[in-house]
Amino acid sequence: MQTSGEGQTFVGMELSDISELLGPEQPNYRARQIYDAIYRKQVANLSEISTLPQVLRNELVADHKIGLPMVEQRFDSIDGTRRYLLRMDDNRTVETVLMPEGKRDTVCISSQIGCPVDCRFCLTALMGLERNLTAGEIVGQVLFVAREHRLDATSAKMNVVMMGMGEPLLNLNNVLKATRLLTDSTGIGMSPKRITLSTSGIIPQILEMGQAEIRPKLAISLNASTEEQRSELMPITRKYHLRDLLEACRVYPLRSWEKLTFEYVLLKGVNDSDADAKRVVRLISKLNCKVNLIALNPGPGIQFETPDAERVESFQEIVKRSVPCFLRKPRGRDIYAACGQLKRVSGELVGLTV
């Protein structure tokens, strides 16, 4: 076994990585046995890989780890949503959320610890950025939730959204490697149709991701109907202008089964007027897309309010005359697990620590 691999964790390794770690003294099929055990069988400990010789198992256990995150805290919502605060190897923590609903289980995962994109309506933005997550730490969130709740990643019931902490496109290499691992039919086996990435609009990386053979679906966080309005709400717009973002969306190479998703957080008296809705239609109606509306999920330190239901309904009615438009039901608001609320809010504040 290669000594340069000592201390590495297996979650996050592709098959070629494991082969390199084992070195030429091990037959090629040993790497496949480890890969299969970790990603398809989802073993919790290297000692459980019974297909390996005992000597090799002992070596792996002595020098390496599976690499799954540990639970620091868990919060349960009255609506069935569960928010996990997961601890990584360096003792930093990150948020992961499971949202079960009927025949659908959605796992919301993080791509960074904190976030460098200063969206004014998002609690995560108040943290700033601590660091990127590795591909293994991204995949590990999915494996952890799947093991914890006995979810079948190969079924059409399970979906993953990269909409937790962080701006995924600012960690694109690790996000794409994680996506390859999640969708490998010989491993975890998810369909790319069931993985979605949400971005604030990092244009160069949008174009780069569009060239990747294996990639998530793309969702754009729009949240405004004019350049000026978006610049105030999402300062990243001052670097990546709205018209350029929409042009990147126009040339983005959608697959035959794919639509762009535009997400729009409605803020009372700010971006929720009928005039805003009509401007949104003018911006995106010629694109192959749909819109997900999100009435603001409030939190401490956020200086905006949630619009009234009637205002949300009026906005939706205008948009859906031209573009498919859906209202995303808030999940886990009572435990700060809803969209834009992930900021490692304490158990004392939530009052629901288990």
| Active-site annotation, residues | 95, 339
DSSP string, 184-230: -TTTT---GGGEEEEES--HHHHHHHHT-SS--EEEEE---SSHHHH
260-266 and 289-295 as β-strands: parallel, antiparallel, unpaired? parallel
Residue 56 · residue 65 · CB < 8 Å: no
Can you give 33-78 as a three-state secondary structure string? HHHHHHHHCCCCCHHHCCCCCHHHHHHHHHHCECCCCEEEEEEECC
Gap between the Cα atoms of 244 and 237, Å rounded = 10
The DSSP annotation for 249-317 comes to HHH----TT--EEEEEEE-TTTT-SHHHHHHHHHHHTTSSEEEEEEE----TT----PPPHHHHHHHHH
Amino acid at 148: E
* Partners of residue 132 on adjacent β-strands: 112
Give me the residues paired with residue 136 across strands. none
Residues 217 and 201: their CA atoms lie apart, in Å, by 14
Tell me how far apart the alpha carbons of residues 136 and 159 are, in angstroms, rounded to a whole number: 18
The CA distances from residue 72 to 84, 99, 162, in Å, are 8, 19, 21
